[in-house]
Amino acid sequence: MPLSISLNLFAWIDWSVQATISWILSNTFGSKNVSIVAEEDVQTLSEPESAGLLGKVASTVNECLAEASRYGLKGPDKSLGPSEILEAISCCNSNGGPLGRHWVLDPVDGTLGFVRGDQYAVALAFIDNGEVVVGVLGCPNYHMKRDRHNKQQQNHISSEVSLPSPDMLEEGCVMYTRKGTGEAWVQPLVYGDRKYEWPNFAKQVHVSPIDDPALATFCEPVERANSNHSYAAGLASSVGLRNKPLRVYSMVKYAAIAQGDAEIFMKFARAGYKEKIWDHAAGVLIVQEAGGVVTDAGGRSLDFSKGIYLESLDRGIVVCSGIKLHEKLIGAVYASWESSSL
């Protein structure tokens, strides 16, 4: 089956997740008090020929809300109908900006990863007057370490997901943090009748202590369309990175650095591509609170106050487990940029 057809067949997942989270946020905090910046709109789903697709989305949302009610979240009094589903999705129409409070949602970050049974994430962040203050990443195929100090081979984040090693909990994980705490946490996801509750199954995550480029592992996006692999490879070579890069779908790259499975994530978009805030907000905060460093390629903090895009981004994004690696990479960017062809 062609990949484009596969992506269309799985598009209902994005709408379903967005509608579910939108409904929960609106009913928890009040619809008038909630501003949501999210990826999906209802244009296609509202068309008459999409009635079957809308019905599938409604069924999935109602199933998710019924499941959520088992764990303390109040669900609707009766099943949501198609119009209520469309309303939940369409109210995620905020553009964010420097003032006010905004939730930022990527319902399925890494659609290709989801389609291929690989890495993907559900990403939710909360922005208060332009600053990310809460970050949550749900990573169903990325496994929490039993012993976070034991760095294994990264078979649980590689682009071909295999069975996790014995030091992994096999339920996937959710990572979360709040700005200024200096703490980021991970716990297994909930599956079936098993319920894992903080703090019994939650562990604090920390970035890796490795600061020798020869020992460091670096991640980059799988897709070549919006990331210059050749420039990143040249940069890696110039600072002495020897390990083969891990090409990983979605914000799982941020989770890997926060949990100490990798030390570096670099992304240098090709000309004309604009980074969206929902692709980075939650992951950036989690890495920072876990002890890592995140800037653009000019060494400046990422600015989430400009709307849906990282408008003032300088060349690319550099994420490191520590300041020494970060300084080497930023220096290498400045040394090589004049000869690059981005």
Q: Indicate which CATH number applies to the domain containing 276.
A: 3.40.190.80
In a domain, 278, yes or no: yes
Is the preceding peptide bond at 199 cis, omega within 30 degrees of 0?
Answer: yes
Q: What is the Cα–Cα distance from 139 to 119, expressed in whole angstroms?
A: 7
| Token couple for 289 | 């609170």
User: Considering only CA atoms, which of 78, 85, 75, 93 is closest in space to residue 24?
Assistant: 75
Q: What is the Cα–Cα distance from 106 to 278, expressed in whole angstroms?
A: 5
Question: Which residues touch 25 (CB under 8 Å, ≥6 apart)?
Answer: 34, 36, 103
In a domain, 73, yes or no: yes
Instruction: Look at residue 223 in the predicted model and tell me its pLDDT.
Output: 87
Q: Domain ends where: 43, 68, 94?
A: 94
279 is in an annotated binding site: yes
In a domain, 32, yes or no: yes
Instruction: Look at residue 248 in the predicted model and tell me its pLDDT.
Output: 94
Instruction: Look at residue 98 in the predicted model and tell me its pLDDT.
Output: 96
Q: What is the Cα–Cα distance from 98 to 277, expressed in whole angstroms?
A: 13
109 is in an annotated binding site: yes
User: Considering only CA atoms, which of 246, 238, 240 is closest in space to residue 221?
Assistant: 246
In the chain, the number of structural domains is: 2
In a domain, 173, yes or no: no
In a domain, 89, yes or no: yes
User: Considering only CA atoms, which of 178, 199, 186, 66 is closest in space to residue 133?
Assistant: 178
Instruction: Look at residue 2 in the predicted model and tell me its pLDDT.
Output: 46
In a domain, 195, yes or no: no
**CB count in 10 Å sphere of residue 247:** 16
Q: Domain ends where: 59, 94, 129?
A: 94
As annotated, the active-site residues are 14, 111
In a domain, 78, yes or no: yes
Instruction: Look at residue 334 in the predicted model and tell me its pLDDT.
Output: 92
Q: Domain ends where: 39, 70, 94?
A: 94
pTM of the shown model: 0.90
Domain with 254 in it: 218-339
| Token couple for 8 | 């269309």
In a domain, 122, yes or no: no
Residues of the chain with confidence (pLDDT) below 50: 1-7, 148-155, 159-164, 192, 341-342
